[in-house]
Amino acid sequence: MLAKRVIPCLDVKEGRVVKGTKFLDLKDAGDPVEQALFYDKEGADELCFLDITASHENRYIMINVVKRVAEKIYIPFTVGGGIGDPEHIREILSAGADKVSINTAAVKDPNLVQVSAQRFGSQCIVVAIDAKRVFDKSGKPLRRWEVFTHGGRTPTGIDVVEWAKKVEKLGAGEILLTSMDRDGTQDGYDLELTSDVAKSVSIPVIASGGAGSKEHLYEGLTTGRADAALLASLLHYRTLTIREIKDYLVNKGVVVRR
């Protein structure tokens, strides 16, 4: 049986790992390669690097990070953040990344998903979706979510479940689904969101946003039907270790790799 995956996500700015992006107090948290080795040793199943460098001139700093990580890391890793064209995807993959994650560029030009999946294979194209719950006029939350782009700043009017189905059709190999409502709250994953998306596509869904405890991970991977869980602050601040999370999941009957 296929194991559920635990994936630490590292934010990288100008070639360094930073913490605390949500609260804008960016702290230098060290070298990406050292951090990657740490989580690899802890039992991470994959790694995810999100380039949050604003300017485009720094594209090659990230390519260098990818090359250095690939020299040392023997588990799969995904690179995302500001990826907008097939040539950029090719550079990242040939530097040694296993997958790239695209977000805003996919919404702007859905054809990019199709072209990239055909050229590089679906298995390396992850579409990241930032989802925000929709409320009715009286302020009542609906079981519906809207796709946001540009790091959660721009509403698109696109329905999340419809978008997920569309990117699957276009050839995406995986969906990285972030609940903007839960992100940074530690209140747990938006289980309705993850399960609604997971039920409507047949590609893996990675849950992100809101995990504050190991119970939340268990819920996300069972009730939420997610195939993998992406973790950031929970791990970075050492609230929990991957080992503790996996021990807990195994006790609850979830198949994970140890």
| Contacts with other proteins, residue ranges (CB under 8 A) | 1-3, 5, 40, 45, 70-71, 74-76, 93-94, 96, 98, 120-124, 173-174, 202-204, 227-228, 257
- Give 80 or 212: the residue with its C-beta nearer to other proteins: 80
Our answer to whether residue 28 is catalytic in this structure is no
Minimum distance from residue 140 beta carbon to other proteins (Å): 31
- Give 180 or 197: the residue with its C-beta nearer to other proteins: 197
Minimum distance from residue 102 beta carbon to other proteins (Å): 16
Q: Note the maximum CA span of the chain.
A: 54
> Other CB atoms closer than 10 Å to residue 191's CB: what's the count?
20
CA–CA dist 5, 196 (Å, integer): 19
Our answer to whether residue 130 is catalytic in this structure is yes
Tell me how far apart the terminal alpha carbons of the chain are, to the nearest angstrom.
14
Minimum distance from residue 24 beta carbon to other proteins (Å): 34
The catalytic position among 130, 183, 190, 227 is 130
Helix (H, G, I), strand (E, B) or coil at 26: coil
- Give 174 or 190: the residue with its C-beta nearer to other proteins: 174
> Other CB atoms closer than 10 Å to residue 124's CB: what's the count?
21
CA–CA dist 143, 105 (Å, integer): 26
Helix (DSSP H) and strand (DSSP E) numbers for the chain:
10, 12
- Give me the helices (H) in the chain, please: 32-42, 59-72, 86-94, 104-108, 111-120, 160-170, 191-200, 214-221, 233-236, 242-251
- Give 130 or 174: the residue with its C-beta nearer to other proteins: 174
Residues labelled catalytic? 11, 130
